[in-house]
Amino acid sequence: MSESRGVKPGPEPADRVVIGITFGNSNSSIAFTVDDKAEVIANEDGDRQIPTVLSYVDGDEYYGAQAKAFLVRNPNNTVAYFRDFLGKDFKSIDPTHCHAAAHPQDTAGTVCFSVKDKGSEDEPSSVSVSEASTRFLRRLVTSASEYLGKTVTSAVVSVPTNFNDRQREALIKAANDAGLEVLQLISDPVAAALAYDARPEAGVEDKIVVVADLGGTRSDVAVVASRGGMYTILATAHDYEFSGVHLDQVLMDHFAKEFIKKHSSDPRSNPKSLAKLRQEAEATKKALSLGSNAQFSVESLADGFDFSSTINRIRYEMVGRKVFEGFNRLVEGVIKKAGLDVLDVNEVIMCGGTSHTPRIANNFRGIFPESTRILAPATSTTAINPSELQARGAALQASLIQEYEAADIEQSTHPCVTTVKHIANAIGVVAVGPNGEDVFTPIMQAETAAPARRIVHIAAPTPGGDVFIKVVEGGTHIKVTKPEPKAKDATENGDEDSDFDSDEDEEEKREKVWKIGTQLAEAAVKGVKKGGKVEVMVNVAADLSVTITAREVGGKGGVRGNLAA
Protein backbone atom coordinates (compact mmCIF):
# COMPACT_ATOMS: atom_id res chain seq x y z
CA MET A 1 0.00 0.00 0.00
CA SER A 2 2.80 2.36 0.78
CA GLU A 3 6.10 2.99 -0.76
CA SER A 4 8.60 4.82 1.28
CA ARG A 5 9.44 6.25 4.68
CA GLY A 6 11.29 8.91 6.57
CA VAL A 7 15.07 8.74 6.65
CA LYS A 8 15.83 10.59 9.88
CA PRO A 9 15.28 8.93 13.23
CA GLY A 10 11.95 10.35 14.33
CA PRO A 11 10.29 10.71 17.71
CA GLU A 12 9.33 7.74 19.87
CA PRO A 13 6.01 6.28 18.70
CA ALA A 14 4.28 7.35 21.92
CA ASP A 15 5.39 10.95 21.43
CA ARG A 16 4.17 11.28 17.88
CA VAL A 17 1.47 13.72 16.83
CA VAL A 18 0.47 12.66 13.33
CA ILE A 19 -1.40 14.19 10.42
CA GLY A 20 -2.10 13.32 6.78
CA ILE A 21 -0.86 15.68 4.10
CA THR A 22 -1.58 15.98 0.45
CA PHE A 23 0.99 18.23 -1.16
CA GLY A 24 -0.37 19.06 -4.60
CA ASN A 25 1.00 21.10 -7.43
CA SER A 26 -1.97 23.48 -7.14
CA ASN A 27 -3.35 22.89 -3.64
CA SER A 28 -2.43 21.12 -0.44
CA SER A 29 -4.49 19.88 2.50
CA ILE A 30 -3.85 18.69 6.03
CA ALA A 31 -6.03 16.27 7.98
CA PHE A 32 -6.08 14.47 11.30
CA THR A 33 -8.21 11.76 12.85
CA VAL A 34 -10.52 11.93 15.80
CA ASP A 35 -12.34 8.77 16.98
CA ASP A 36 -11.13 6.97 13.82
CA LYS A 37 -12.73 9.61 11.61
CA ALA A 38 -10.62 11.83 9.40
CA GLU A 39 -11.15 15.57 9.35
CA VAL A 40 -9.56 18.15 7.12
CA ILE A 41 -8.07 21.11 8.98
CA ALA A 42 -8.86 24.69 7.96
CA ASN A 43 -5.79 26.91 8.17
CA GLU A 44 -5.78 30.35 9.79
CA ASP A 45 -7.40 31.84 6.65
CA GLY A 46 -10.21 29.29 6.94
CA ASP A 47 -9.04 27.33 3.87
CA ARG A 48 -9.14 23.55 3.62
CA GLN A 49 -7.68 23.60 0.12
CA ILE A 50 -4.55 25.61 0.61
CA PRO A 51 -2.97 26.88 -2.62
CA THR A 52 0.60 25.53 -2.87
CA VAL A 53 2.01 29.01 -3.29
CA LEU A 54 4.54 31.16 -1.42
CA SER A 55 4.91 34.90 -1.90
CA TYR A 56 7.38 37.41 -0.48
CA VAL A 57 6.48 41.05 0.17
CA ASP A 58 8.83 43.39 2.07
CA GLY A 59 10.58 40.41 3.65
CA ASP A 60 7.35 38.79 4.84
CA GLU A 61 6.40 35.32 3.70
CA TYR A 62 2.80 34.64 2.67
CA TYR A 63 1.44 31.24 1.76
CA GLY A 64 -1.80 29.69 0.52
CA ALA A 65 -4.67 31.88 -0.70
CA GLN A 66 -2.95 35.10 0.39
CA ALA A 67 0.13 34.19 -1.65
CA LYS A 68 -1.99 33.17 -4.63
CA ALA A 69 -3.67 36.60 -4.62
CA PHE A 70 -0.20 38.14 -5.05
CA LEU A 71 0.08 36.52 -8.48
CA VAL A 72 -1.60 39.70 -9.76
CA ARG A 73 0.53 42.35 -8.02
CA ASN A 74 3.76 40.56 -7.17
CA PRO A 75 4.22 37.66 -9.61
CA ASN A 76 8.03 37.79 -9.71
CA ASN A 77 8.29 37.07 -5.97
CA THR A 78 5.55 34.46 -5.93
CA VAL A 79 6.50 30.80 -6.24
CA ALA A 80 3.74 28.53 -7.59
CA TYR A 81 3.34 25.13 -9.25
CA PHE A 82 6.68 23.85 -7.94
CA ARG A 83 5.73 20.50 -6.37
CA ASP A 84 6.16 18.59 -9.64
CA PHE A 85 9.75 19.91 -9.96
CA LEU A 86 10.91 18.19 -6.74
CA GLY A 87 13.68 15.66 -7.39
CA LYS A 88 14.01 16.70 -11.04
CA ASP A 89 16.79 18.23 -13.08
CA PHE A 90 16.14 21.56 -14.74
CA LYS A 91 16.26 20.03 -18.20
CA SER A 92 13.42 17.61 -17.49
CA ILE A 93 10.82 20.04 -16.13
CA ASP A 94 7.93 21.68 -17.93
CA PRO A 95 7.84 25.29 -16.66
CA THR A 96 4.62 26.24 -18.56
CA HIS A 97 2.48 26.86 -15.50
CA CYS A 98 5.07 29.18 -13.93
CA HIS A 99 4.99 31.76 -16.71
CA ALA A 100 2.83 34.08 -14.59
CA ALA A 101 4.86 33.53 -11.41
CA ALA A 102 8.56 33.37 -10.44
CA HIS A 103 10.32 31.59 -13.29
CA PRO A 104 12.26 28.40 -12.58
CA GLN A 105 15.96 28.90 -13.18
CA ASP A 106 18.75 26.53 -14.03
CA THR A 107 21.24 26.47 -11.15
CA ALA A 108 23.93 23.91 -11.98
CA GLY A 109 21.25 21.68 -13.47
CA THR A 110 18.85 22.00 -10.51
CA VAL A 111 15.66 24.06 -10.35
CA CYS A 112 15.69 27.32 -8.35
CA PHE A 113 13.58 30.48 -8.10
CA SER A 114 15.03 33.93 -7.75
CA VAL A 115 12.85 35.88 -5.27
CA LYS A 116 13.32 38.89 -2.99
CA ASP A 117 12.53 36.99 0.20
CA LYS A 118 14.53 39.25 2.57
CA GLY A 119 13.17 42.65 1.64
CA SER A 120 12.15 44.55 -1.47
CA GLU A 121 15.38 46.57 -1.43
CA ASP A 122 17.64 43.52 -0.95
CA GLU A 123 19.19 41.39 -3.65
CA PRO A 124 17.00 38.41 -4.62
CA SER A 125 17.91 34.98 -3.17
CA SER A 126 18.03 31.77 -5.08
CA VAL A 127 15.48 29.43 -3.49
CA SER A 128 15.71 25.82 -4.58
CA VAL A 129 12.58 23.73 -5.17
CA SER A 130 13.58 21.67 -2.16
CA GLU A 131 13.82 24.81 0.01
CA ALA A 132 10.49 26.15 -1.31
CA SER A 133 8.88 22.80 -0.47
CA THR A 134 10.40 22.84 3.02
CA ARG A 135 9.14 26.37 3.63
CA PHE A 136 5.67 25.50 2.40
CA LEU A 137 5.46 22.24 4.37
CA ARG A 138 6.62 24.10 7.47
CA ARG A 139 3.67 26.47 7.08
CA LEU A 140 1.29 23.51 6.77
CA VAL A 141 2.74 21.85 9.86
CA THR A 142 2.52 25.12 11.82
CA SER A 143 -1.13 25.53 10.82
CA ALA A 144 -1.93 21.96 11.85
CA SER A 145 -0.04 22.34 15.14
CA GLU A 146 -1.91 25.54 15.97
CA TYR A 147 -5.22 23.90 15.16
CA LEU A 148 -4.49 20.80 17.21
CA GLY A 149 -2.88 22.71 20.06
CA LYS A 150 0.20 20.47 19.99
CA THR A 151 3.29 20.24 17.84
CA VAL A 152 2.82 17.93 14.87
CA THR A 153 5.82 15.60 14.56
CA SER A 154 4.98 13.12 11.81
CA ALA A 155 2.87 12.62 8.72
CA VAL A 156 1.79 10.27 6.00
CA VAL A 157 2.01 12.17 2.71
CA SER A 158 0.15 11.16 -0.44
CA VAL A 159 1.99 11.28 -3.77
CA PRO A 160 1.12 10.58 -7.42
CA THR A 161 1.71 7.00 -8.58
CA ASN A 162 4.33 8.15 -11.08
CA PHE A 163 6.55 9.84 -8.48
CA ASN A 164 9.89 8.10 -8.92
CA ASP A 165 12.41 7.21 -6.18
CA ARG A 166 14.29 10.47 -6.60
CA GLN A 167 11.13 12.51 -6.28
CA ARG A 168 10.11 10.51 -3.21
CA GLU A 169 13.50 10.96 -1.57
CA ALA A 170 13.42 14.69 -2.37
CA LEU A 171 9.99 15.02 -0.80
CA ILE A 172 11.04 13.15 2.32
CA LYS A 173 14.15 15.34 2.64
CA ALA A 174 12.12 18.54 2.19
CA ALA A 175 9.71 17.36 4.91
CA ASN A 176 12.53 16.31 7.26
CA ASP A 177 14.13 19.73 6.79
CA ALA A 178 10.81 21.23 7.89
CA GLY A 179 11.12 19.16 11.10
CA LEU A 180 8.58 16.59 9.98
CA GLU A 181 9.02 12.83 10.15
CA VAL A 182 7.51 11.13 7.11
CA LEU A 183 6.00 7.88 8.36
CA GLN A 184 5.05 6.77 4.89
CA LEU A 185 4.36 7.97 1.37
CA ILE A 186 1.04 6.58 0.24
CA SER A 187 -0.08 6.73 -3.37
CA ASP A 188 -2.85 9.24 -4.15
CA PRO A 189 -5.44 6.75 -5.49
CA VAL A 190 -4.96 4.40 -2.55
CA ALA A 191 -5.40 7.33 -0.15
CA ALA A 192 -8.66 8.25 -1.90
CA ALA A 193 -9.93 4.66 -1.80
CA LEU A 194 -9.02 4.40 1.88
CA ALA A 195 -11.01 7.54 2.69
CA TYR A 196 -14.12 5.86 1.31
CA ASP A 197 -13.44 2.36 2.61
CA ALA A 198 -12.77 3.57 6.16
CA ARG A 199 -16.31 4.85 6.51
CA PRO A 200 -18.21 2.76 9.07
CA GLU A 201 -20.93 1.93 6.55
CA ALA A 202 -18.43 0.56 4.00
CA GLY A 203 -18.12 -3.21 4.18
CA VAL A 204 -15.01 -5.03 2.98
CA GLU A 205 -15.85 -5.85 -0.60
CA ASP A 206 -13.91 -7.23 -3.55
CA LYS A 207 -14.18 -4.58 -6.19
CA ILE A 208 -12.53 -2.86 -9.11
CA VAL A 209 -12.24 0.85 -8.50
CA VAL A 210 -11.28 3.58 -10.94
CA VAL A 211 -9.83 6.58 -9.14
CA ALA A 212 -10.06 9.65 -11.35
CA ASP A 213 -7.94 12.38 -9.78
CA LEU A 214 -8.62 15.54 -11.75
CA GLY A 215 -6.50 18.36 -10.39
CA GLY A 216 -5.32 21.80 -11.42
CA THR A 217 -2.35 21.01 -13.64
CA ARG A 218 -2.61 17.25 -14.10
CA SER A 219 -5.10 14.43 -14.25
CA ASP A 220 -4.15 11.03 -12.90
CA VAL A 221 -6.34 8.00 -13.29
CA ALA A 222 -5.73 4.60 -11.69
CA VAL A 223 -7.51 1.28 -11.87
CA VAL A 224 -7.30 -0.35 -8.47
CA ALA A 225 -8.29 -3.86 -7.46
CA SER A 226 -9.56 -3.84 -3.89
CA ARG A 227 -9.51 -7.36 -2.55
CA GLY A 228 -10.31 -7.99 1.10
CA GLY A 229 -9.03 -4.54 2.03
CA MET A 230 -5.76 -4.88 0.05
CA TYR A 231 -5.25 -2.49 -2.83
CA THR A 232 -3.40 -3.36 -6.02
CA ILE A 233 -2.88 -0.78 -8.75
CA LEU A 234 -3.56 -2.48 -12.09
CA ALA A 235 -2.96 0.44 -14.46
CA THR A 236 -2.40 4.17 -14.35
CA ALA A 237 -2.52 7.09 -16.77
CA HIS A 238 -1.27 10.63 -16.33
CA ASP A 239 -2.27 13.56 -18.41
CA TYR A 240 -1.12 17.18 -18.41
CA GLU A 241 -3.35 18.43 -21.26
CA PHE A 242 -6.72 18.03 -19.63
CA SER A 243 -7.05 19.50 -16.15
CA GLY A 244 -8.46 22.42 -14.17
CA VAL A 245 -6.21 25.10 -15.68
CA HIS A 246 -7.41 24.11 -19.15
CA LEU A 247 -11.00 24.76 -18.07
CA ASP A 248 -9.86 28.13 -16.66
CA GLN A 249 -8.28 28.84 -20.06
CA VAL A 250 -11.52 28.06 -21.88
CA LEU A 251 -13.35 30.63 -19.74
CA MET A 252 -10.53 33.15 -20.05
CA ASP A 253 -10.73 32.93 -23.83
CA HIS A 254 -14.51 33.19 -23.75
CA PHE A 255 -14.55 36.38 -21.66
CA ALA A 256 -11.51 37.85 -23.42
CA LYS A 257 -13.43 37.62 -26.71
CA GLU A 258 -16.39 39.44 -25.14
CA PHE A 259 -14.05 42.12 -23.82
CA ILE A 260 -12.41 42.52 -27.23
CA LYS A 261 -15.83 42.96 -28.87
CA LYS A 262 -16.67 45.74 -26.43
CA HIS A 263 -13.36 47.52 -26.06
CA SER A 264 -11.21 46.38 -29.01
CA SER A 265 -8.40 45.37 -26.67
CA ASP A 266 -7.23 41.91 -25.61
CA PRO A 267 -6.84 41.54 -21.83
CA ARG A 268 -4.61 38.50 -22.43
CA SER A 269 -1.85 40.64 -23.91
CA ASN A 270 -0.92 42.33 -20.63
CA PRO A 271 0.41 40.20 -17.72
CA LYS A 272 -1.55 41.98 -14.99
CA SER A 273 -4.85 41.83 -16.91
CA LEU A 274 -4.13 38.21 -17.73
CA ALA A 275 -3.60 37.39 -14.05
CA LYS A 276 -6.90 39.10 -13.13
CA LEU A 277 -8.67 37.29 -15.95
CA ARG A 278 -7.27 33.96 -14.72
CA GLN A 279 -8.31 34.50 -11.10
CA GLU A 280 -11.86 35.47 -11.99
CA ALA A 281 -12.18 32.66 -14.56
CA GLU A 282 -11.31 30.13 -11.85
CA ALA A 283 -13.86 31.66 -9.45
CA THR A 284 -16.53 31.59 -12.19
CA LYS A 285 -15.67 27.98 -13.00
CA LYS A 286 -16.12 26.96 -9.36
CA ALA A 287 -19.43 28.85 -9.15
CA LEU A 288 -20.64 26.90 -12.21
CA SER A 289 -20.12 23.66 -10.28
CA LEU A 290 -22.80 24.80 -7.85
CA GLY A 291 -25.21 26.91 -9.84
CA SER A 292 -26.51 26.99 -13.39
CA ASN A 293 -25.37 30.60 -13.86
CA ALA A 294 -22.30 32.49 -12.75
CA GLN A 295 -21.03 36.04 -12.73
CA PHE A 296 -17.70 37.16 -14.11
CA SER A 297 -16.72 40.54 -12.83
CA VAL A 298 -13.33 42.29 -12.70
CA GLU A 299 -12.59 45.87 -11.76
CA SER A 300 -10.26 47.60 -14.17
CA LEU A 301 -9.61 44.46 -16.19
CA ALA A 302 -7.64 46.21 -18.94
CA ASP A 303 -7.13 49.76 -20.22
CA GLY A 304 -8.96 50.99 -17.12
CA PHE A 305 -12.24 49.30 -18.15
CA ASP A 306 -14.26 47.37 -15.61
CA PHE A 307 -15.79 44.23 -17.04
CA SER A 308 -18.82 42.28 -16.00
CA SER A 309 -20.64 39.42 -17.67
CA THR A 310 -22.49 36.18 -16.94
CA ILE A 311 -22.33 32.67 -18.31
CA ASN A 312 -24.65 29.74 -17.87
CA ARG A 313 -23.62 26.16 -17.37
CA ILE A 314 -24.82 24.99 -20.78
CA ARG A 315 -22.65 27.55 -22.54
CA TYR A 316 -19.68 26.65 -20.31
CA GLU A 317 -20.13 22.97 -21.09
CA MET A 318 -20.17 23.80 -24.77
CA VAL A 319 -17.01 25.90 -24.75
CA GLY A 320 -15.24 23.34 -22.52
CA ARG A 321 -16.38 20.33 -24.54
CA LYS A 322 -12.94 19.34 -25.79
CA VAL A 323 -11.50 19.28 -22.26
CA PHE A 324 -14.45 17.27 -20.96
CA GLU A 325 -14.04 14.77 -23.78
CA GLY A 326 -10.36 14.51 -22.86
CA PHE A 327 -11.30 13.28 -19.37
CA ASN A 328 -13.58 10.64 -20.88
CA ARG A 329 -10.84 9.34 -23.16
CA LEU A 330 -8.35 9.25 -20.30
CA VAL A 331 -10.63 7.11 -18.16
CA GLU A 332 -11.63 4.79 -21.00
CA GLY A 333 -7.97 4.40 -22.01
CA VAL A 334 -6.74 3.36 -18.57
CA ILE A 335 -9.48 0.75 -18.19
CA LYS A 336 -8.39 -0.74 -21.50
CA LYS A 337 -4.77 -0.60 -20.37
CA ALA A 338 -5.74 -2.69 -17.32
CA GLY A 339 -7.23 -5.26 -19.71
CA LEU A 340 -10.71 -4.54 -18.37
CA ASP A 341 -14.03 -3.27 -19.62
CA VAL A 342 -16.26 -0.56 -18.14
CA LEU A 343 -18.56 -3.42 -17.11
CA ASP A 344 -15.84 -4.71 -14.78
CA VAL A 345 -15.73 -1.47 -12.80
CA ASN A 346 -17.71 -1.45 -9.55
CA GLU A 347 -16.88 2.04 -8.40
CA VAL A 348 -15.48 5.29 -9.79
CA ILE A 349 -14.00 7.55 -7.12
CA MET A 350 -13.72 11.10 -8.36
CA CYS A 351 -11.17 13.14 -6.51
CA GLY A 352 -9.24 16.37 -7.02
CA GLY A 353 -10.81 19.82 -7.24
CA THR A 354 -11.91 19.50 -10.89
CA SER A 355 -14.05 16.49 -9.92
CA HIS A 356 -16.59 18.94 -8.48
CA THR A 357 -17.58 19.73 -12.08
CA PRO A 358 -21.03 18.19 -12.70
CA ARG A 359 -20.49 17.68 -16.45
CA ILE A 360 -17.49 15.41 -15.88
CA ALA A 361 -19.33 13.21 -13.38
CA ASN A 362 -22.41 13.10 -15.62
CA ASN A 363 -20.26 12.09 -18.60
CA PHE A 364 -18.76 9.26 -16.54
CA ARG A 365 -22.30 8.23 -15.57
CA GLY A 366 -22.95 7.84 -19.29
CA ILE A 367 -19.81 5.77 -19.91
CA PHE A 368 -20.35 3.23 -17.14
CA PRO A 369 -23.26 0.84 -16.62
CA GLU A 370 -25.97 1.61 -14.06
CA SER A 371 -24.39 -0.83 -11.61
CA THR A 372 -21.17 1.22 -11.33
CA ARG A 373 -21.20 3.68 -8.46
CA ILE A 374 -19.92 7.10 -9.57
CA LEU A 375 -18.78 8.76 -6.36
CA ALA A 376 -18.89 12.50 -7.09
CA PRO A 377 -21.01 15.31 -5.65
CA ALA A 378 -23.09 15.52 -8.86
CA THR A 379 -23.95 11.82 -9.00
CA SER A 380 -24.03 10.62 -5.41
CA THR A 381 -25.52 12.17 -2.30
CA THR A 382 -23.08 10.24 -0.12
CA ALA A 383 -19.93 11.34 -1.98
CA ILE A 384 -17.11 12.75 0.11
CA ASN A 385 -15.75 16.16 -0.94
CA PRO A 386 -13.37 15.21 -3.80
CA SER A 387 -10.87 17.86 -2.70
CA GLU A 388 -10.51 16.24 0.73
CA LEU A 389 -10.18 12.56 -0.09
CA GLN A 390 -6.42 12.19 -0.26
CA ALA A 391 -5.67 14.16 2.89
CA ARG A 392 -8.29 12.14 4.75
CA GLY A 393 -6.86 8.85 3.48
CA ALA A 394 -3.35 9.91 4.44
CA ALA A 395 -4.56 10.88 7.94
CA LEU A 396 -6.30 7.53 8.39
CA GLN A 397 -3.17 5.70 7.35
CA ALA A 398 -1.10 7.86 9.72
CA SER A 399 -3.32 6.98 12.64
CA LEU A 400 -3.08 3.28 11.74
CA ILE A 401 0.69 3.16 11.73
CA GLN A 402 1.70 5.82 14.24
CA GLU A 403 2.31 3.31 17.02
CA TYR A 404 4.92 1.37 15.08
CA GLU A 405 8.65 1.90 15.35
CA ALA A 406 10.09 3.52 12.21
CA ALA A 407 12.03 0.31 11.43
CA ASP A 408 8.84 -1.78 11.58
CA ILE A 409 7.06 0.59 9.24
CA GLU A 410 9.95 0.26 6.84
CA GLN A 411 9.80 -3.52 7.02
CA SER A 412 6.09 -3.75 6.48
CA THR A 413 6.26 -1.45 3.48
CA HIS A 414 9.36 -2.95 1.95
CA PRO A 415 8.76 -3.90 -1.69
CA CYS A 416 9.11 -7.65 -0.90
CA VAL A 417 6.19 -7.43 1.45
CA THR A 418 3.94 -5.07 -0.44
CA THR A 419 4.45 -6.67 -3.83
CA VAL A 420 2.60 -9.84 -2.91
CA LYS A 421 1.52 -12.42 -5.45
CA HIS A 422 -1.91 -12.27 -7.02
CA ILE A 423 -4.07 -14.90 -8.59
CA ALA A 424 -4.36 -14.28 -12.31
CA ASN A 425 -7.83 -15.73 -12.86
CA ALA A 426 -10.94 -15.80 -10.77
CA ILE A 427 -11.69 -19.03 -8.87
CA GLY A 428 -15.27 -20.20 -8.65
CA VAL A 429 -17.68 -23.09 -8.38
CA VAL A 430 -19.65 -24.64 -11.16
CA ALA A 431 -23.05 -25.94 -10.22
CA VAL A 432 -25.96 -27.08 -12.34
CA GLY A 433 -28.42 -24.31 -13.25
CA PRO A 434 -32.21 -24.60 -13.52
CA ASN A 435 -32.05 -25.66 -17.18
CA GLY A 436 -29.30 -28.17 -16.61
CA GLU A 437 -26.61 -25.73 -17.77
CA ASP A 438 -23.35 -25.09 -15.94
CA VAL A 439 -23.47 -21.95 -13.83
CA PHE A 440 -20.29 -20.32 -12.60
CA THR A 441 -20.31 -18.61 -9.20
CA PRO A 442 -17.11 -16.66 -8.51
CA ILE A 443 -15.56 -17.22 -5.09
CA MET A 444 -12.36 -15.26 -5.47
CA GLN A 445 -11.90 -12.47 -8.00
CA ALA A 446 -8.90 -12.25 -10.30
CA GLU A 447 -6.08 -10.04 -8.92
CA THR A 448 -6.79 -11.11 -5.34
CA ALA A 449 -3.58 -10.77 -3.33
CA ALA A 450 -2.35 -13.98 -1.70
CA PRO A 451 -2.71 -15.25 0.96
CA ALA A 452 -6.48 -15.07 0.85
CA ARG A 453 -9.48 -17.10 1.91
CA ARG A 454 -13.05 -16.90 0.64
CA ILE A 455 -16.16 -18.94 1.45
CA VAL A 456 -19.42 -19.40 -0.48
CA HIS A 457 -22.59 -21.26 0.31
CA ILE A 458 -24.28 -23.10 -2.53
CA ALA A 459 -27.86 -24.33 -2.31
CA ALA A 460 -28.24 -28.09 -2.77
CA PRO A 461 -31.00 -29.33 -5.06
CA THR A 462 -34.35 -28.92 -3.22
CA PRO A 463 -34.88 -32.62 -2.38
CA GLY A 464 -31.31 -32.88 -1.04
CA GLY A 465 -28.97 -35.75 -1.86
CA ASP A 466 -25.45 -35.83 -3.26
CA VAL A 467 -24.04 -32.50 -4.44
CA PHE A 468 -21.28 -32.46 -7.05
CA ILE A 469 -19.08 -29.43 -7.14
CA LYS A 470 -16.47 -28.43 -9.66
CA VAL A 471 -13.98 -25.76 -8.66
CA VAL A 472 -12.68 -24.00 -11.74
CA GLU A 473 -10.79 -20.97 -12.90
CA GLY A 474 -12.95 -18.36 -14.55
CA GLY A 475 -12.52 -15.49 -16.94
CA THR A 476 -14.96 -12.94 -18.22
CA HIS A 477 -15.87 -11.73 -21.62
CA ILE A 478 -18.28 -9.13 -22.84
CA LYS A 479 -21.34 -10.45 -24.60
CA VAL A 480 -22.82 -8.01 -27.08
CA THR A 481 -26.43 -8.46 -28.09
CA LYS A 482 -27.51 -6.47 -31.12
CA PRO A 483 -31.07 -5.18 -30.98
CA GLU A 484 -33.58 -7.27 -32.95
CA PRO A 485 -34.33 -5.50 -36.22
CA LYS A 486 -37.92 -4.26 -35.95
CA ALA A 487 -40.34 -5.80 -38.38
CA LYS A 488 -41.80 -3.11 -40.58
CA ASP A 489 -45.51 -2.92 -40.14
CA ALA A 490 -46.63 -1.31 -43.37
CA THR A 491 -50.31 -1.67 -42.71
CA GLU A 492 -50.14 0.04 -39.32
CA ASN A 493 -47.83 2.81 -40.41
CA GLY A 494 -49.37 3.18 -43.77
CA ASP A 495 -46.00 4.38 -44.98
CA GLU A 496 -43.20 1.97 -45.71
CA ASP A 497 -40.58 4.70 -45.87
CA SER A 498 -41.46 6.09 -42.49
CA ASP A 499 -38.39 7.31 -40.54
CA PHE A 500 -39.87 5.87 -37.42
CA ASP A 501 -39.24 2.25 -38.23
CA SER A 502 -35.50 2.69 -37.99
CA ASP A 503 -33.98 0.89 -35.00
CA GLU A 504 -31.26 3.53 -34.62
CA ASP A 505 -32.41 4.54 -31.16
CA GLU A 506 -31.99 1.10 -29.68
CA GLU A 507 -28.55 0.47 -28.30
CA GLU A 508 -26.82 -2.86 -28.37
CA LYS A 509 -26.73 -4.59 -25.01
CA ARG A 510 -23.33 -5.30 -23.47
CA GLU A 511 -23.03 -7.62 -20.51
CA LYS A 512 -20.23 -9.31 -18.65
CA VAL A 513 -20.48 -13.08 -18.77
CA TRP A 514 -18.30 -15.67 -17.10
CA LYS A 515 -16.29 -18.09 -19.16
CA ILE A 516 -15.51 -21.37 -17.42
CA GLY A 517 -11.80 -22.16 -17.59
CA THR A 518 -9.50 -24.91 -16.29
CA GLN A 519 -10.94 -27.27 -13.73
CA LEU A 520 -9.02 -27.19 -10.45
CA ALA A 521 -10.90 -29.78 -8.38
CA GLU A 522 -14.02 -31.83 -8.20
CA ALA A 523 -15.79 -32.87 -5.01
CA ALA A 524 -18.92 -34.66 -3.97
CA VAL A 525 -20.70 -33.96 -0.73
CA LYS A 526 -22.89 -36.94 -0.05
CA GLY A 527 -26.39 -37.00 1.41
CA VAL A 528 -27.07 -33.33 1.87
CA LYS A 529 -30.30 -32.71 3.80
CA LYS A 530 -33.40 -31.40 2.06
CA GLY A 531 -33.05 -27.62 1.56
CA GLY A 532 -29.45 -27.84 2.78
CA LYS A 533 -26.42 -25.89 1.66
CA VAL A 534 -22.86 -26.75 0.83
CA GLU A 535 -20.04 -24.52 1.97
CA VAL A 536 -17.01 -24.25 -0.30
CA MET A 537 -13.88 -22.65 1.07
CA VAL A 538 -10.97 -21.67 -1.14
CA ASN A 539 -7.71 -20.90 0.58
CA VAL A 540 -4.86 -19.50 -1.52
CA ALA A 541 -1.51 -19.56 0.29
CA ALA A 542 1.21 -16.94 -0.18
CA ASP A 543 2.97 -19.22 -2.72
CA LEU A 544 -0.35 -19.46 -4.65
CA SER A 545 -0.98 -23.11 -3.71
CA VAL A 546 -4.70 -23.71 -3.24
CA THR A 547 -6.63 -25.70 -0.64
CA ILE A 548 -10.28 -26.36 -1.31
CA THR A 549 -12.70 -27.64 1.32
CA ALA A 550 -16.34 -28.58 0.70
CA ARG A 551 -18.80 -29.61 3.41
CA GLU A 552 -22.46 -29.52 4.25
CA VAL A 553 -23.38 -26.42 6.27
CA GLY A 554 -24.11 -27.64 9.78
CA GLY A 555 -23.05 -31.17 8.81
CA LYS A 556 -20.07 -33.22 9.87
CA GLY A 557 -17.00 -34.10 7.85
CA GLY A 558 -16.37 -32.81 4.35
CA VAL A 559 -13.88 -33.10 1.52
CA ARG A 560 -10.55 -31.34 1.26
CA GLY A 561 -7.99 -31.19 -1.52
CA ASN A 562 -4.69 -29.46 -2.14
CA LEU A 563 -3.28 -28.06 -5.37
CA ALA A 564 0.32 -27.05 -5.83
CA ALA A 565 1.09 -23.49 -6.93
Q: Which residues bind ligand ATP (CB under 6 A)?
A: 24-27, 49, 215-218, 243-245, 282, 285-286, 289, 352-354, 356-357, 387
Helix (H) or strand (E) run with residue 192 in it:
helix 188-197
- Of the two residues 27 and 130, which places its CB atom closer to ligand ATP in the complex? 27
Distance CA 398, CA 158 (A): 11
Indicate the DSSP class of residue 199. Answer: S
- Of the two residues 251 and 343, which places its CB atom closer to ligand ATP in the complex? 251
Minimum CB separation from ligand ATP for residue 405, in Å? 32
Minimum CB separation from ligand ATP for residue 218, in Å? 4
Minimum CB separation from ligand ATP for residue 55, in Å? 17
- Of the two residues 378 and 458, which places its CB atom closer to ligand ATP in the complex? 378
- Of the two residues 96 and 269, which places its CB atom closer to ligand ATP in the complex? 96
Minimum CB separation from ligand ATP for residue 378, in Å? 10
- Of the two residues 273 and 387, which places its CB atom closer to ligand ATP in the complex? 387
Distance CA 417, CA 456 (A): 28
Minimum CB separation from ligand ATP for residue 354, in Å? 4
- Of the two residues 357 and 425, which places its CB atom closer to ligand ATP in the complex? 357
Cβ atoms of 364 and 373 within 8 Å: the answer is no
Q: Residue 45, exposed/middle/buried by CB under 10 A (0-12, 13-18, 19+)?
A: exposed
Minimum CB separation from ligand ATP for residue 103, in Å? 18
CA angle at residue 92 from 50 to 109, to 5 degrees?
100
Distance of CA 205 to the CA centre of its chain: 18
Distance CA 472, CA 514 (A): 11
Distance CA 526, CA 211 (A): 46
Q: Is the torsion defined by CA of 196, 197, 203, 204 positive or negative? A: positive
Minimum CB separation from ligand ATP for residue 491, in Å? 55
Backbone angles phi, psi at 266, to 5 degrees: -95, 115
- Of the two residues 139 and 356, which places its CB atom closer to ligand ATP in the complex? 356
Q: What is the 3-state secondary structure (H, E, C) of 458-524?
A: EECCCCCEEEEEEEEEEEEEEEEECCCCCCCCHHHHCCCCCHHHCCCCCCCEEEEEEEEEEEEEEEE
Distance CA 525, CA 113 (A): 73
Cβ atoms of 390 and 382 within 8 Å: the answer is no
- Of the two residues 236 and 476, which places its CB atom closer to ligand ATP in the complex? 236
Minimum CB separation from ligand ATP for residue 49, in Å? 5
- Of the two residues 162 and 419, which places its CB atom closer to ligand ATP in the complex? 162
Cβ atoms of 294 and 311 within 8 Å: the answer is yes
Pairing relationship of beta strands 230-239 and 219-227 according to DSSP bridges = antiparallel
Distance of CA 244 to the CA centre of its chain: 15
- Of the two residues 68 and 227, which places its CB atom closer to ligand ATP in the complex? 68
- Of the two residues 75 and 353, which places its CB atom closer to ligand ATP in the complex? 353
CA angle at residue 30 from 183 to 227, to 5 degrees?
60
Distance CA 94, CA 111 (A): 11
Minimum CB separation from ligand ATP for residue 90, in Å? 20
Cβ atoms of 425 and 475 within 8 Å: the answer is yes
Output the DSSP codes for 359-424: HHHHHHHHHS-TTSEEESTTT-TTPPPTTTHHHHHHHHHHHHHTTS-HHHHHHHTSHHHHS--B-S
Cβ atoms of 5 and 406 within 8 Å: the answer is yes
Minimum CB separation from ligand ATP for residue 288, in Å? 7
- Of the two residues 49 and 372, which places its CB atom closer to ligand ATP in the complex? 49
Minimum CB separation from ligand ATP for residue 211, in Å? 12
Minimum CB separation from ligand ATP for residue 361, in Å? 11
Backbone angles phi, psi at 177, to 5 degrees: -65, -20
Minimum CB separation from ligand ATP for residue 145, in Å? 22
Distance CA 93, CA 267 (A): 28
